Amino acid sequence: MSGTLPVIDISAPGAATALGRALEEIGFAYVAGHSVPQPTIDAAFAASRAFHASPLARKRSLAINEWHRGYIGMATSTVVSSSVAKVTRPNLSESVMIMQDVAPGDADWGEPLQGPNQWPDWLPGFRPAIDAYRDAAEGVSRRIIRLIARALDLGEDALDPHFARPTTFLRLLHYPPHPVDAEDDQFGAAPHTDYGIITLLAQDSSGGLQVRRRDGGWIDAAPLAGTFVLNVADMLARWTNDRFVSTPHRVVNRSGGDRYSLPYFFDTSMASTIECLATCTGPGNPAKYPPVRYGDYLLDRINRNYHYRHKPAAAE
């Protein structure tokens, strides 16, 4: 478990260069200098804990809907699309999924993943806390996308059009203590890579996140006060022709108590075409992947990994 992740102060001179190096070498970094007030983060964690402490019947009243928003029950997602492990056991976690807001009458309303979020009306402080956190996380993510553009020798705003209507996920995760008698292939989150562009993670003090090194060993991404954990996801690796690394990671909660985390996934619009960026190819380095519509790629992953998407066949 030796080794650590680099710490990148995104407010410092040279941040783009330092970030680009980290995303090339390991695909993970701690992000400092993000300017998100700690009370905003603390309030989001408090909202998550309050939701997960609610009676199961109340949580189930917000069961995840066809637009992938709502409560995902304990051990009801299995990462079968993982390219780094054969995963057969469901993750030991429960969560609430909150995506970008789409209002009735919006041009995309009713399209795949374009529908209503679900909010716990029995927790009146929940939505204000979560909305404030989402706004803050989006602001940091947009700063990071601009740093990434600079690191790739593009204009600072070159990638911005792809995020005019971003696809976002805030997942309020709760991991119970890992069972002492669990099999070796049981995880809170099985080894996997993320689907989209970047993930910005706030984690509590429990620990449990591990990142795979290039040599196959695993290192702990221990909580570091005042930082987020940033990682490259599959679509950013594809966009950069694998210049940036989408690194496998996993969670095993051996803290002896409950673990909470707030991963925020910041991705392009569903309609964006992801194809090799001009600065990531050239003589001797051809594009490795054909263009793909992000929304098509995303739906394939969601349809394969979440149990609620697997409707039983009707009896004949």
Question: What's the pLDDT band for 123 if we cut at 50, 70, 90?
Answer: very high
Q: Which residues of 102-115 are buried (b: 16+ CB within 10 A; e: fewer)?
A: beeeeebeeebbbb
Which regions of the chain does DSSP assign to beta strands (E)?
Answer: 7-9, 28-32, 70-72, 94-99, 167-175, 189-192, 198-203, 209-212, 218-220, 228-232, 249-251, 259-267, 273-274, 292-293
Lowest mean pLDDT among 6-20, 39-53, 299-313: 299-313
Per-residue pLDDT, 75: 76
CATH of 7-309 among 2.20.28.120, 2.40.160.40, 3.40.718.10, 2.60.120.330: 2.60.120.330
SS3 state of residue 63: strand
Say if CB 278 and CB 286 are below 8 A apart. Answer: no
Site of tokens 């600072």: 156
The crossing angle, in degrees rounded to 10, of helices 126-151 and 15-25 is 90
Question: What's the pLDDT band for 2 if we cut at 50, 70, 90?
Answer: very low
| The two three-digit tokens of residue 118, written as one number | 């679900």
Say if CB 53 and CB 129 are below 8 A apart. Answer: no
| Mean pLDDT, all residues of the chain | 92
Cβ count within 10 A of residue 209: 26
Q: List pLDDT tens digits, range 48-93.
A: 999 999 999 999 999 999 999 999 998 776 655 445 555 567 888 9
Contacts 24+ apart (CB under 8 A), 70-75: 70/96, 70/97, 70/117, 70/118, 71/95, 71/96, 71/118, 72/96, 72/97, 72/306, 72/308, 74/176
| The two three-digit tokens of residue 136, written as one number | 């803050």
Residues 287-300, mean pLDDT to the nearest whole number:
96
Q: List pLDDT tens digits, range 217-271.
A: 999 999 999 999 999 999 999 999 999 999 999 999 999 999 999 999 999 999 9
Per-residue pLDDT, 84: 57
Which regions of 193-288 does DSSP assign to beta strands (E)?
Answer: 198-203, 209-212, 218-220, 228-232, 249-251, 259-267, 273-274
Backbone angles phi, psi at 15, to 5 degrees: -60, -40
